[in-house]
Every structure is written in structure tokens, then in C-alpha cells.
A and B are shown apart, each in its own frame.
Chain A
């Protein structure tokens, strides 16, 4: 099973990289972009095939190291 963890800065925490990308898109005359948030994706190949166990385990990983929950939120997708 594969776990895809997406980590983003929390809503309300200013994202300087997202803002810079937004500026660049504006400068390139791409229209219709309201906001840009920049994050990272961590892909984990797991040995477990039990979705429930995997979800619990990856949540623990996200809380302890993959995200800094002072400033970041995360989502987990199991495929």
C-alpha cells in the first residue's frame, strides 16, 4: 500500500513561497489565480495492507516528524 502525505502551511499562516509563485504567475500574465499555497508531498511505500493500521501509523508519523503541527496541516491518502 502507498501512503501519500501532503503537508501545507496552516490557513492563516503566511506562505512566502506560495506568495512568490503567485507574483510570478501574475507577472507572466496568467489570470484568474486567487491564491497559491505551496506544500510538499511525501510518498511512503508501506508493507502493511491493512488500511486502518496504515492510517493510524502514518498519522503518527505525520504528527511526530513529517509535519510541524505548530505551522503545518497534513492530509493522508492511502492507495
Chain B
């Protein structure tokens, strides 16, 4: 049975949804307060969940990156451990430098909260291994700062190394502008493909009765 460590900062609000999601997938979980300095020894995956850590003060994710637990997260990631950042977790991982690029205010400035179709760009990684390349998924988004920015040189590396995970798309998989992200990017991974970040919320897409169960095959990839 896989064990998932879920981080909790002041202002995190998707920690319990994430716990519910992984327990539904037959994992055990520990929610870890950010002042802790150690992860459980049997951790198979760290999830940095969504929310508004430190009220998004200064920049989304800017303050959380310096929480005591993050030193353990950096060491875990650098030794090849799997880390997933969802929404605010994605912002924290880019601030920390574990993921490339940065997330700016949405074009149009609105907080966008809705179901959104996404195209799977690359599945040559643990996270999306259970999805088909070019498959279109339906996953909720809920963010104000999801406008992914990366300079051209770094973007070219990202693309060549198959680090682009997902793009916002229409129902046929054609990229669309949702928040102003460079080439509609919704999620990326690091070069060694063990740290993943995305703005959409797979943990909110587990039941068809609530709109979609496409989140299951995403999360399942990480615990396979």
C-alpha cells in the first residue's frame, strides 16, 4: 500500500480533498503541518495541495517555499522521490525552483473556476502514464494566478525534453487561451520527471456524478 504525504500550510484548503482522493485509491496518507521538518519514512509521494498558502501574500507560493518542511521536500525530490504540486502547490514548486517557469495573474484578471478540457501533451512520465497521448480530459480549474510564463530558451528545452504535461484545449484537443499561459500550458514536470505541477485539480474529478472521473487515471499513474 502506497503512503502519501500531504503538506498543509496556513491557508491550504485542498489538503482534505487530496487525502480523500488518495484514500479512495487505496493509499494511506499523512497530512503534514508545514512546521514539521521530517516526512514519514515510508513516503511514496509528496503532494503539495491547492489553496492560498499565506493568503497569497507577496506572490502565490512565495512565502510557503521557506516553510521548515520544504527542506525535506527538496531533499526528497533531489533523491528522485515523486512530488506533485496542484494549483497553489504548483505555484509553490515553481517558486522553490523544483519546477521551471512561473505563474502570473490570469490574463483578464478574473479568478476562473469551472470544468476545463485539457489535452495530454506527453505521457512519457509516471503522472500521465495511464492517459493516452492527445487524450482530452475534463478536470476542474480554480485559480487567479495560473498564467504560466517561461522564456523562449527554457520553453524550447521543456518541449524537447517532453516536460509539457497538459495544455488547456477545446473538447477536440485544440489549444485554447484560458488564462494567458505560454502555448496554453496547464502542467509541466522537471527534467528528471519526478516532480510534477499543474493548475487543474485532479483530486476534484473522481466521480462522474460530480462531473468527471478523469482525475482518477492521473493520480493512479503516481501510485502505480
A residues at B contact (CB < 8 Å): 9, 13-14, 16-17, 20, 65-66, 68, 70-71
How far apart are the CA atoms of A16 and B148 in the complex, in Å?
13
Closest to A64 in B: B66
A16 and B107 within 8 A (CB):
yes
B175 cross-chain contacts in A, Cβ below 8 A:
none
Across-interface contacts of A68 in B (CB, < 8 A): 59, 62, 95, 102
Interface residues of B in 27-66 (CB under 8 A from A): 58-59, 62-63, 66
Q: A65-B58, A68-B59, A68-B62 are in contact. Are A17 and B101 (CB under 8 A)?
A: no
Q: Cβ of B66: which chain A residues have Cβ within 8 Å of it?
A: 65
User: Total A-B pairs in contact (CB under 8 Å)?
Assistant: 35
Binding site secondary structure of chain A: mixed
Q: When A65-B58, A65-B62 are in contact, do A71 and B102 touch as well, CB less than 8 Å?
A: yes
Interface size class of B (residues with CB under 8 A): 20 to 34
Nearest chain B CB to A75 CB, angstrom units: 17
B104-143 CB contact bits vs A (8 Å, 1 = yes)?
1111110000000000000000000000000000000000
Q: Mark B143-164, 1 if CB is under 8 A from A, else 0.
A: 0000101110000000000000
Quick check: A13 and B105 within 8 Å, CB to CB? no
A16 and B105 contacting across the interface, CB-CB below 8 Å? yes
Docked CA distance A65–B62 (Å):
7
- Find the A residue at minimum CB distance from B94: A70
> Considering only CB atoms, which chain A residue lies closest to B65 in the complex?
A65
Task: Beyond the given A16-B105, A16-B109, A16-B180, please list 5 additional residue pairs across the A-B interface where CB-CB is below 8 A.
Answer: A16-B106, A16-B107, A65-B58, A65-B63, A70-B94
List 9 A-B pairs, minimum CB-CB distance, nearest first.
Answer: A70-B102, A71-B102, A16-B107, A16-B105, A71-B149, A68-B102, A20-B109, A16-B109, A68-B59
